[in-house]
Amino acid sequence: MDTLITVGQLVLSLSILIVLHEFGHFIPARLFGTRVEKFYLFFDPGFSLFKKQIGETEYGIGWLPLGGYVKISGMIDESFDKEQMDQPAQPWEFRSKPAWQRLIIMLGGVTVNFILGFFIYAMVLFGYGEEYFPADNITAGIAVDSLGQEIGLQNGDKIIRVGDVPFERFNDRIVLREIAINNARQIEVNRNDQPTTVEVDPKWVDLLTRYENKNSRLFTARMPFVVGIVQKGGPADEAGLLIEDRIVSVDGTPTPFFDQYTEAVRGRGGETVVLGVRKKDQEDVREVSVTLTEAGQLLVAAAGPDYFYDTERQEYSFAESIPAGVNQGVNFLSDQFKAFGQMFAGNIKVTESLGGFASIGSMFGKTWNWERFWYMTASLSLILAFMNLLPIPALDGGHVMFLLYEVVSGRKPSDTFMERATMVGFVIVLGLVVLANGLDIWRWING
């Protein structure tokens, strides 16, 4: 069921984006009197799942979910319809239109995707606002994971600044982004009430962007260990631990924070330990003997940071949400440009950051959350626009590149040249798709 939910979200998101992208080509084509022969969601080599002729255009759904297309008369595209191109040009064909009209038609798809991405970001902010933990509210500082510890952070650190960016909203992704994308080389922290600078080795640009670390956290909020969920029949349940019980010691050693508890029971799987347990709003501590699982667990879930720390929510009016959504989209695109720059510089390995449908789908999560769904759809819309603008023949950016050449030089590339260039571009794009999804399969096989 979890997989179906993930796949369902991915398919719905991509279907929305593909259809609207193709409408971005379709509408200006029709406005300029250009005939559109086909409008398809997904590709239909051999046969289609559904099709209906309306006027001059066949609308349909293909069986191969690798994108979609509009087939515009008199245009050299992935259909490679040479028979049509061998005939004399007709007034309703793409090749008969002025270069500026053809340029608008080709830019229509990415224009829609850019506008759509900004608009969805804005509507997410308008509808949901932004809930966050102010960094100042996390009074106990951070609890570092192994990656954060290797970087040089310590439990209890209070982050002040990452590079030149003040750490105002508590989120480890901010630290990751500033290191991996913006080349931050220092993290300023308050450690034991003393200002301390953590020097960040340049190697972390590569390490933090590796696929194996995609879902790894650098740190979380440091919190006491309060029981949030008790698994029935587990060690904690059998020992009588209840929700909201606070574990304050292990075998007499104080463990005021969860990270101290985990350190105290490390390597003690299968052993019996004596926990100091305090009820909510009580000072008395009782001792409880518990036999840990072989993995050293109590089989409970600890209460999250919102149990201890207050969040804030920034609300947006409709008027406020538009510039805020555009700003969020621009920042996202800026990060994508910088990430590409890091790849070209050799600081980020392409094979570590590239992923196919499985990688994209995993970002939607295993539960249906509309806020996350629309946020992901906005991000994918901007990525789709950005990728389609790459100057690769067969992509919109390739067509735009040749049209700009025609506008500047006054010379139109020959049909033979365009056919060959489109074929090369199609092979490049297909190769990238195979590589991206092949990497997903390789990662799945290797666990």
pLDDT at 396 > cutoff 90? no
Contact criterion met (CB below 8 Å) for 42 and 64: yes
pLDDT at 81 > cutoff 60? no
Q: State how beta strands 300-302 and 57-72 pair.
A: unpaired
Q: How far apart are CA 155 and CA 146, in angstroms?
A: 11
Taking only the tens place, the pLDDT of each residue in 97-133 is 998 999 999 999 999 999 999 999 999 999 999 999 9
pLDDT at 85 > cutoff 70? no
- Mind giving me the DSSP string for 93-162? SGGGS-HHHHHHHHHHHHHHHHHHHHHHHHHHHHHH-EEE-BGGG-TT-EEE-HHHHHHT--TT-EEEEE
Structure-derived torsion over alpha carbons of residues 40, 8, 387, 165, reported in degrees to the nearest 10: 150
Read off the tokens for 143.
Answer: 């609890």
The pLDDT value recorded for residue 38 is 93
Average pLDDT, the chain: 89
**What is the domain partition of the chain in residue ranges?**
2-128+371-445, 131-222+304-314, 225-303
Which residue(s) pair with 39 in the sheet?
Answer: 59, 70
Q: Which amino acid is at 214?
A: K
The pLDDT value recorded for residue 305 is 93
Taking only the tens place, the pLDDT of each residue in 258-289 is 999 999 999 999 999 999 999 988 889 999 99
Taking only the tens place, the pLDDT of each residue in 314-365 is 999 999 999 999 999 999 898 888 877 777 777 777 676 777 777 778 788 8
Q: How far apart are CA 89 and CA 93, in angstroms?
A: 7
Q: State how beta strands 142-144 and 130-132 pair.
A: unpaired
The pLDDT value recorded for residue 412 is 83
| pLDDT confidence tier of residue 138, bands split at 50, 70 and 90 | very high
Q: Which CATH architecture has domain 225-303?
A: Roll (2.30)
Of residues 105, 21, 15, the one with CA closest to residue 382: 21
Please give the backbone phi and psi of residue 296, each rounded to the nearest 5 degrees, phi first.
80, 30
Taking only the tens place, the pLDDT of each residue in 58-71 is 999 999 887 888 99
Range 330-336, long-range pairs (CB < 8 A, 24+ positions): 332/117, 332/379, 332/382, 333/382, 333/386, 335/177, 335/181, 336/382, 336/383, 336/386
131-222+304-314: what CATH class?
Answer: mainly beta
Which range among 10-24, 147-161, 299-313, 330-344 shows the weakest confidence by mean pLDDT?
A: 330-344
| pLDDT confidence tier of residue 406, bands split at 50, 70 and 90 | confident
| Mean pLDDT, residues 191-215 taken together | 90
| Mean pLDDT, residues 14-39 taken together | 94
| Mean pLDDT, residues 414-418 taken together | 78
Most confident region among 89-103, 152-166, 328-342, 381-395 by mean pLDDT: 152-166
| pLDDT confidence tier of residue 43, bands split at 50, 70 and 90 | confident
- What pTM does this model have? 0.81
pLDDT at 86 > cutoff 70? no
pLDDT at 419 > cutoff 80? no
Give the count of beta carbons closer than 10 Å to the beta carbon of residue 199: 9
pLDDT at 80 > cutoff 60? no
Task: Say how many residues make up the chain.
Answer: 447
Contact criterion met (CB below 8 Å) for 22 and 15: no
- Taking the CA atoms of the chain, what radius of gyration do you get in angstroms? 28
| pLDDT confidence tier of residue 243, bands split at 50, 70 and 90 | very high
The pLDDT value recorded for residue 375 is 92
| pLDDT confidence tier of residue 413, bands split at 50, 70 and 90 | confident
Domains 131-222+304-314 and 225-303 share a fold: yes
Place of tokens 């994508």: 336
Q: How far apart are CA 218 and CA 122, in angstroms?
A: 29
| Mean pLDDT, residues 171-197 taken together | 94
Which range among 9-13, 271-275, 357-361, 405-409 shows the weakest confidence by mean pLDDT?
A: 357-361
The pLDDT value recorded for residue 323 is 96
Place of tokens 């799987």: 269
